[in-house]
Structure 1
Amino acid sequence: MDTQASMDIIALLQMRLHALNDLHLTLKHIHWNVVGPHFIAVHEMIDPQVEQVRAMTDDLAERISTLGGEPNGTPGTLVDARTWSDYSIGRAEAIAHLGALDLVYTSLIEDHREAMQATETSDPVTQDMLIEQLRGLELFQWFVRAHLESSGGTLSTRGATTETGAASQAVDQARDQP
């Protein structure tokens, strides 16, 4: 791989590292702030996701190093580099957090897919790693969405564009179900 291609992939992976570090912290935030009748189910569902996302960050950082880069996982660098806002839900019902988390996963998965596609020709090793991470992230989103679907198959967050909007829609649908 030539130097420019390596530098481009390092930059791409650094943003994925920031995104997954942010996800890990967001998941812990949800774990600590979830309340309501589904508390224990969501509380216990989140911790394995946290651990697997942390393992993904380690893989990304090691790949950056392998390519000759210097992975940066400091909070200040993450905040300065990210293109998204902080998670916006505090202490709330489990279903509200799951609604917001669905949008978090959607955005993160879309960006991870773009990174995967960008490495198809230049670095199939990195692409393979990103594909494996996508497999896990999509599985986690499926777990979240299982709580958000009506018995008729309607996803409560459909059409939501903000975390608070998705949270509100999820709560409304849950209250409307028999």
Structure 2
Amino acid sequence: MTPIHSPLADDAHKVVTEALRDALVDLIDLSLAGKQAHWNVTGPRFRTVHFQLDEVVDTARKHADIVAERSVTVGSPADGRAETVARDSQLPRLDAGWVRDDDVVATFVGLYDGIIARMRQRAHDVEDADPVSNNILLDAVEELEKQYWMWQAERA
């Protein structure tokens, strides 16, 4: 027996659940990538990049929480377990160890490029099925695109 009943029709629920599940995995993995790079960045721009990575983590965690809460609100348990993220994430893996500041910047430009494209597609996919989830995903895209711009400016 499901304790939370979805306010969405079955077909809409399926589309929304998949989009939110995949968005949650991407956002959790983005926060983990941000922390991994934050701890190991080196180079002349260490301090700037180090603090910029804090913003990555804060934004990703904030939106992951909003996405997870929307998922349970529409009747689908959120799954942010490490094994789920490791198995399902579409983000490229970061190498272990020290990483130069220039490499961090290039890596995060690439990470944001991919995650934004996937988040925009998810927002599009749920637009008719659930405008509320669409709005949540678009809010995340807005902040991710701002950070993407900042990473690109860092590289310019």
TM-score w.r.t. the length of structure 2 is 0.90
Q: Are 2:55 and 1:48 equivalent residues in the alignment? A: yes
Partner SS, residue 155 of structure 2: coil
Deviations 1:104-134 (A, max 9, x none): 1000000000001111111111111111110
Say how many residue pairs are matched: 149
- Which consecutive residues of structure 2, in runs of 5 or more, have no partner in the other structure? 1-7
Deviations 1:32-63 (A, max 9, x none): 11101100011111112211210100001000
* Deviation at residue 89 of structure 1 after TM alignment: 6.5
**Identity over aligned residues, as a percent?**
28
CA spacing shift, 1:98–1:82, aligned 2, 3 Å: same
- Partner of residue 103, structure 1: 110
Cross-structure match for 1:118? 125
The Cα of 1:84 is off from its aligned counterpart by 4.5
TM-score, with structure 1 as normaliser: 0.80
Q: Which has the larger radius of gyration?
A: 1
Matched, 1:75 2:74: no
Q: In the alignment, what sits opposite 2:9?
A: 2
- State how far apart, in whole Å, the 1-side matches of 2:92 and 2:41 are: 20
Q: Which has the higher contact order (CA 8 A, sep 6+)?
A: 2
Aligned-CA RMSD value = 1.3
Q: Secondary structure at the match of 1:68?
A: coil
What's the counterpart of residue 61 of structure 1? Answer: 68
Q: Which letter maps to 2:133? A: T
